[in-house]
Amino acid sequence: MPARPPNSRSIVLRGLAFSCVLTATVGAAQVSGDLPSAPALQRGGLSDVGNQALRLFMAPMAGSVHLELEVSGIDGASDEGAGDAGPTAPSPAQTLTMFPHSATARFWISGQANSIFQAHGHFHSPYQGSNSLIDDVEAKASEVATLYLGYQLWPNTRYNTDLIVDFENAGGRGISQALGLAGETNIDIVRNPTLSIAPYLSHGEIHQIIGLTDEMVDQERGPFALATKVPVRRFEIRIGKMSMPDTLDINSVGSDSHLQFTNWTIDNNGAWDYAADTRGYTVAGILEYDDRNWSARYAIAAMPTVANGIDLDWALSRANAQNWEFELRKGLFAPLLNSKRAGAVRVLSYVNHAHMGDYRESVQQYLSGRIATPDVIQSERNGQVKYGFGLNTEQEVTDSLRLFARFGWNDDRHESFVYTEVAQTILFGGDYNGRGWHRSNDKVGAAFVSNAIKRDHQNYLHYGGLGFLLGDGNLTYGREDIMEWYYNAHLWHGLYGMFGGTQIAHPGYNTVRGPIYVTTVRAHIDF
């Protein structure tokens, strides 16, 4: 019998405790004689009203835990005189992590803690099944904490090698146990609540750069790429345990659940059934070629043994996911805008081979009387193929405004196996930074996504079949339409707070259910 899952209060307490461990570890390791000193705090601070608002913000995350935060120097100075470095460039006088990170050390140590609280009330629901969004007042919390470790064998050369090892802890529950929505509202949720919340290895990979020229360009240093300079033309190779969205389908406006949107089908392409275990990780190899204005990537990864499973199938000849992506670092609307405005277009395709079932075959088995209820598991066999395509674009419009969009499609005859139950997705949205009101590291964002499934999948759910996320016991089909908005505030150094909400029409593609509104509060710390 699985252990009883922790409640929201215990999850947040564990997250805060792990954050303290990260603070001590990172502080001891990162503060050394050769590190740059932390920039001086800006004069001024929050008013009493601001302090009260911050305490109110943190209160839902900690349940009955009383938090006292005295914050000063919070991203409130004027941006006048700052260089025009683009909409996301921080003021030179600000620190966006709790501790400064060396640009010259051969090692990398950092961490993060992300806690999300969500709640919703009653909504229209004439009936529900075992995988339905629950028509009740719900309040759920989640936490994810990560320790990032890296080491450069040969720093800043044509042949840089990074060794990356990361550990993670995840806990908590999503609303309705993360069931009943294709566009689940909390991307931090682990969909199997019986999994242990003990820390686990999230990344263990080798990142190798093979330069094809001596011409070097600057690169922003981070936990997955430690070099500060790289050859303008190069191959990059990654081998090991990783998450596919670390490298593919990246979008600077809509890929970061820690500081941006939280919906599964906004942060990622919902129709991309990318290889992963239940926690979102796989073992893969990625080959990437980078040139001055474009990149091309190929990835092969291990698939899980069962849909939404924690165990991977190690026989790549039997089960694998192959992905291709081409990226042009020029926006779709570049000809209409200043040519210096940043933008990108990415085209993605994938083919999955796995022990998958067939929706059409499952419905035929049911209609012929061979089974009492459609069950896609009964049609599973090796050698099944699922394929799809994606388009991902972003465009800077002004110093403050950025727009983005995604489109995705897959065949949807074979079962949704890994990510979510989406066959077609159309997304557009954007963000706007707070430069105009002298808070350049604040952002407000909004996005609309419309998800759909194809006829075979619709029939399967209509006749009472269950997927790993959906199944009301009946289905009156309609597209699942989602609108999400947020305001993310930079509070102090690496501390951020967000408030937002999500409106969902036709949850689980069922027109007789909903609409529903989900309120979101998030606290995030970067160490």
Residue among 128, 96, 95, 17 nearest 508 (CA): 128
Mean confidence (pLDDT) of the chain: 85
pLDDT band at 338 (very low <50, low <70, confident <90, very high): low
> Residue 194: its pLDDT value, please?
76
Lowest mean pLDDT among 160-164, 190-194, 215-219, 407-411: 190-194
Q: Is the pLDDT of residue 511 over 60?
A: yes
> Residue 155: its pLDDT value, please?
82
pLDDT band at 166 (very low <50, low <70, confident <90, very high): very high
Domain residue extents for the chain: 8-77+86-99+107-526
Long-range (24+ apart) CB contacts under 8 A made by 14-20 are 14/143, 14/169, 14/171, 14/197, 15/113, 15/115, 15/143, 15/144, 15/145, 15/169, 15/171, 16/62, 16/65, 16/113, 18/113, 18/145, 18/169, 19/111, 19/113, 19/145, 19/525, 19/527
Q: Is 266 helix (H, G, I), strand (E, B) or coil?
A: helix
Q: CA–CA separation, 19 vs 110, rounded Å?
A: 11
Taking residues 163-173, report their average pLDDT. 94
Q: Is the pLDDT of residue 355 over 90?
A: yes
> Residue 195: its pLDDT value, please?
81
Taking residues 182-209, report their average pLDDT. 91
* Residue 184, CB-side half-sphere exposure with 13 Å CA sphere: 25
Residue among 136, 146, 205 nearest 176 (CA): 136
**DSSP type of residue 275:** -
Per-residue pLDDT reduced to its tens digit, 118-164: 999 999 999 999 999 999 999 999 999 999 999 999 887 899 999 99
Concatenate the DSSP letters of all residues of 19-73 into one string: HHHHHHHHHHHH--TTSPPPPPPPS-B--HHHHHHHHHHHHHHHTT-------BS
> Residue 76: its pLDDT value, please?
44
485 alpha-carbon distance from chain centroid: 16
Q: 427: which strand partners?
A: 406, 449
Q: Is 509 helix (H, G, I), strand (E, B) or coil?
A: helix
Residue among 140, 159, 284, 175 nearest 209 (CA): 159
Q: CA–CA separation, 473 vs 374, rounded Å?
A: 11
Per-residue pLDDT reduced to its tens digit, 473-501: 999 999 999 999 999 999 999 999 999 99
Per-residue pLDDT reduced to its tens digit, 210-266: 999 999 999 999 999 999 999 999 999 999 999 999 999 999 999 998 999 999 999
pLDDT band at 510 (very low <50, low <70, confident <90, very high): very high
> Residue 228: its pLDDT value, please?
94
403: its two tokens: 């727009």
Find tokens 């990226």 and name the residue.
327
**DSSP type of residue 91:** P
CATH number of 8-77+86-99+107-526: 2.40.160.10
pTM to 2 decimal places: 0.82
pLDDT band at 453 (very low <50, low <70, confident <90, very high): very high
> Residue 196: its pLDDT value, please?
78
> Residue 18: its pLDDT value, please?
43
